[in-house]
Amino acid sequence: MRGIVALAAITLSGAASAEEAKVIELMVIGTYHMNNPGLDLANVKADDVLKPERQRELEALSAALAEFRPTKIVVERIAKTPELLDHRYAEFTPGDLGKNRDERYQVAYRLAHRLGHKHVYAIDEDPGAGEPDYFPFGKVVDWAKANGAEPKLNAALDEVKAEVAQITDLQATHSIAAVLASLNRPEKDERAQAWHYRVLAYGDTEAQPGADLNAMWYLRNAKIFAKLMTVAQPGDRVLVVYGSGHNYWLRHFARTTPGFHNVDPLPYLQKAAAAKP
């Protein structure tokens, strides 16, 4: 009987191990935009990542992230093919790291090249012709102006600007990895989402622009994750390099979607921050 029980235990253990091997490990690295494109409601003023000391910091970051052993790396870019291949990575050479400040180059492509990846994947989602705006904030502003809520909305925007200013200021005394560690703390995700949910109050029984904003932002992130699901295969270890504003929903999907496991990036970022480049 003991032998049968032992055999059953081994069989169940083996089955569990097989199931665990099929799980997709997903780690999201939320970044600020290192080339200062100025596309967000409030924008970090990024220090020049081409400086020699910043390049050394980025090398330390790449070495730490390599320990995750990602099998696929995906970025915030619109793909031109159904395979969701990032066409820019196909053109990448290490010399680009001395010229291009974009975080996709400095973080994602640097790591992909270090690991010998042939491809980087692009999973972003933007509205095409005739498709709805995924971030209709202008309608929230219009409603606030028409309903005496503009001062309250401006105060909420000041909170966002203050958060962004802290990230800008942090660069003066901290490495890139340390700044990213600050951006990727769970409390940052929760605070950002709470701000979005407060915007639900901007509306009435007829017009509800705050609800529309939340719904469309969710939709964009859901489509991004759905694209990722077409790229990731059971057993993959996927590293996502994306604007930090997407952290909450991408990690939510990683935690709650069957077959996925959310991996905390903080140990890797903190290790890079502690390195002496």
Q: Is the pLDDT of residue 184 over 60?
A: yes
Residues near 13 by Cβ (< 8 Å), separated by ≥ 6? none
Look at residue 123 in the predicted model and tell me its pLDDT.
Answer: 98
> What is the pLDDT averaged over residues 100-110?
97
Look at residue 11 in the predicted model and tell me its pLDDT.
Answer: 45
Look at residue 44 in the predicted model and tell me its pLDDT.
Answer: 75
- Using pLDDT thresholds of 50, 70 and 90, give the confidence band for residue 38: low
Question: Is 265:100 a contact under the CB 8 Å cutoff?
Answer: no
Q: Is the pLDDT of residue 19 over 60?
A: no
> What is the pLDDT averaged over residues 125-132?
87
Give the C-alpha distances (Å, rounded to integers) separating 44 from 185, 225, 244: 17, 25, 11
- Of all residues in the chain, what percent carry a pLDDT higher than 90? 80
Lowest mean pLDDT among 72-76, 96-100, 157-161, 253-257: 157-161
Look at residue 131 in the predicted model and tell me its pLDDT.
Answer: 84
Token readout for 127 is: 């509205």
Look at residue 52 in the predicted model and tell me its pLDDT.
Answer: 96
Task: Please write the tens of the pLDDT for every residue from 206-223.
Answer: 999 999 999 999 999 999
Name residue 98's amino acid: G
> What is the pLDDT averaged over residues 106-133?
94
Residues near 64 by Cβ (< 8 Å), separated by ≥ 6? 177, 268, 269, 271, 272, 275
Rounded Cα gap, residues 53 and 87, in angstroms? 29
φ/ψ of residue 91, rounded to 5: -95, -5
Look at residue 31 in the predicted model and tell me its pLDDT.
Answer: 95
List 240's β-bridge partners, or say none. Answer: 28, 74
φ/ψ of residue 274, rounded to 5: -85, -15
Rounded Cα gap, residues 29 and 32, in angstroms? 10
Hey, where are the domains in the chain?
24-274
Residues near 86 by Cβ (< 8 Å), separated by ≥ 6? 75, 77, 79, 104, 119, 120, 121, 122
Mean of per-residue pLDDT scores for the chain: 91
Q: Is the pLDDT of residue 12 over 90?
A: no
Residues near 244 by Cβ (< 8 Å), separated by ≥ 6? 30, 31, 32, 183, 184, 188
Task: Please write the tens of the pLDDT for every residue from 47-70.
Answer: 899 999 999 999 999 999 999 999
Give the C-alpha distances (Å, rounded to integers) separating 258 from 19, 21, 255: 12, 14, 8
The most confident of the ranges 18-27, 28-37, 223-232 is 223-232
φ/ψ of residue 263, rounded to 5: -105, 130
- Using pLDDT thresholds of 50, 70 and 90, give the confidence band for residue 101: very high
CB environment 123-160: b (16+ within 10 A), e (fewer): bbbeeeeeeeebebbebbbebbeeeebeeebeebeeee
Q: Is the pLDDT of residue 157 over 90?
A: yes
Q: Is the pLDDT of residue 2 over 80?
A: no
Look at residue 86 in the predicted model and tell me its pLDDT.
Answer: 98
